[in-house]
Amino acid sequence: MSPHTPVLSRADDLAHKLQVEIVTGRIPLGSRLRQEDLAGRFGVSRTPVREALRQLQAIGLVDQLGHRGAVVRRFSPEECRNVYLVRAELEGLAAERSAGRLTGYDRGDLDVAQALLRTGYERHRSLARDDEEGLAILCEQWSQANELFHNVILAAAACPPLRDTVQSLQNSVPRSIAWRTFADDPEIIPRSLADHDRIVEALMKPDARRARKLLHQHVVETGDTAARWLERQGS
């Protein structure tokens, strides 16, 4: 085994942990990531920390500040729209390929995702406006349910390069951006549920062309909503 292997393994593990925290919003956009702080927090030397930060820079989640560490990259509205535009094209293709291919297990997973979204929406209506922790937990559950829905369709498309590319794009924009749009406009959830129901109907019919059109439109509109939220933050 190479003497570099343990360092790289620690760096990979650290990069994954930091990616999860950034994508879920536990580390907010614009946060400074100091090498000495991360080394102390995770009980490692600065070497795997530097390598982890390089990995995060390579996937576009952080900007390097040299020996000073890094900063979690902020996203412009245009960058956000572009990511969702590409996702829309690819996920539309996935829906077209998945039409008529969903198994009973797939349909069960889609039903679970929809049920979780509905439950979360009802819980949100009774949540106190100042309950930030409760809202964060709820938004994470919404996000996971939504990802389950989309990933079932990606898996049913039976095209690993397509699945992997979309999932990479999903992870390139922090989910916390979507959470903030939920907090601003909770009616996004019932609109998303209605979109999902129409997509499932087209997939089961099957109507491949309609499924592609509906999922493409849904992803584009989601990206526009997130981009408008970013625009408001910069105003």
pLDDT tens string 155-176? 999 999 999 999 889 878 877 7
Q: Answer yes or no: pTM beyond 0.75.
A: yes
Q: Which tokens is 21 given?
A: 């925290």
Tokens 């609109």 label which residue? 191
Please state the separation of Cα 199 from the chain's center in Å.
20
Specify which residues 62 forms β-bridges with.
72
The Cα–Cα gap between 4 and 6 comes to: 6
In three-state secondary structure terms, 75 is coil
Do 147 and 170 touch, CB atoms closer than 8 A?
Answer: yes
Helix (H) or strand (E) holding 122: helix 104-125
pLDDT tens string 90-143? 999 999 999 999 999 999 999 999 999 888 888 877 777 667 667 667 777 888
* Spatial CA neighbour of 56 closest among 26, 6, 90, 13: 13
The Cα–Cα gap between 34 and 51 comes to: 13
What percent of the chain has pLDDT above 70? Answer: 89
The Cα–Cα gap between 234 and 159 comes to: 39
Look at residue 143 in the predicted model and tell me its pLDDT. Answer: 80
**Res. 4: pLDDT tops 60:** no
Look at residue 98 in the predicted model and tell me its pLDDT. Answer: 97
* Spatial CA neighbour of 150 closest among 124, 122, 125, 178: 178
- DSSP sequence for 144-202: HHHHHHHHHHHHHTT-HHHHHHHHHHHTTS-HHHHHHHHHH-TTHHHHHHHHHHHHHHH
Model confidence at 66, pLDDT cuts 50, 70, 90, reads confident
* Spatial CA neighbour of 114 closest among 84, 87, 88, 152: 152
Look at residue 1 in the predicted model and tell me its pLDDT. Answer: 40
CATH numbers and ranges of domains, the chain: 5-72 (1.10.10.10), 77-234 (1.20.120.530)
The Cα–Cα gap between 43 and 120 comes to: 37
